[in-house]
């Protein structure tokens, strides 16, 4: 069964009441859900392209700063600065390339694929913090570790300059507390956005998968 056939069979079937959202309402049909998925996918693809541009510019800027270190070497540890800038430049450019690949992948979504495959793929995309795969996540982890390390060193240097009596252990605790608070706030905001935009769609995708399973040969027909 392809997606068009499934849509025709469910065109008059109403979904159970969902939480009201800004992109849809309760009692929607398969056509309504398809339009919401296309709209959300288009927004995500646009966001990915924006991140691609942002990371590309950041990577080019880091590369420019790296080149400047050879023309105007820093007064202290020039090789250290070159390594850091080179690493940051490579990471930013790789992020830009990966976001471009993800944007192209999302823009190429086949909305006429077999219904089971389409529902499975869509469900994976709409989970909270859906994993993007090792090739996509590992560079982020490397970048996060490098960022936390370099920013931690800069934080301690600032503490020594403005609060010379403060011990390193106290400065590290304050730094870690700020990182945790920022992480918690980021998680809450991301979760709130997901619940508003993606959770109702995910709920409906799972309802349709369950309905499809019941109608398949050997499935539970409810009798």
The domain segmentation of the chain, as residue ranges, is 24-215
φ, ψ dihedrals at 21, nearest 5°: -135, 175
CB neighbour burial string for 19-35, b if at least 16 within 10 angstroms, e if fewer: eebeebeeebebebbbe
Sequence-distant (6+) residues with CB within 8 A of 200 are 18, 19, 21, 23, 24
pTM of the entire structure? 0.66
pLDDT tens for each residue of 184-221:
898 899 899 989 989 999 999 888 888 888 876 665 55
Pick from 92, 122, 87: which is nearest to 208 by CA?
122
φ, ψ dihedrals at 15, nearest 5°: -80, 155
pLDDT tens for each residue of 63-95:
998 999 898 887 777 887 788 788 888 888 888
């Amino acid at each position: 069964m392809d997606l068009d056939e499934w849509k025709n069979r469910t065109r008059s079937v109403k979904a159970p009441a969902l939480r009201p959202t800004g992109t849809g309402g309760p009692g929607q049909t398969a056509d309504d859900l398809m339009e919401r998925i296309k709209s959300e996918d288009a927004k995500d693809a646009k966001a990915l392209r924006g991140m691609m541009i942002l990371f590309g510019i950041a990577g080019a800027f880091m590369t420019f700063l790296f080149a400047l270190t050879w023309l105007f070497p820093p007064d202290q540890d020039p090789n250290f600065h070159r390594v850091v800038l080179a690493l940051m430049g490579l990471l930013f450019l790789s992020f830009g390339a990966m976001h471009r690949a993800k944007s192209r992948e999302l823009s190429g979504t086949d909305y006429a694929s077999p219904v089971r495959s389409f529902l499975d793929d869509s469900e994976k995309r709409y989970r909270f913090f859906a994993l993007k795969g090792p090739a996509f996540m590992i560079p982020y982890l490397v970048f996060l570790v490098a960022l936390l390390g370099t920013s931690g060193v800069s934080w301690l240097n600032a503490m020594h300059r403005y609060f010379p009596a403060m011990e390193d252990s106290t400065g590290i605790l304050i730094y870690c507390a700020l990182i945790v608070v920022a992480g918690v706030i980021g998680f809450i905001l991301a979760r709130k956005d997901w619940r508003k935009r993606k959770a109702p769609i995910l709920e409906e995708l799972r309802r349709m998968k369950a309905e499809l399973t019941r109608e398949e040969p050997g499935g539970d027909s409810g009798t």
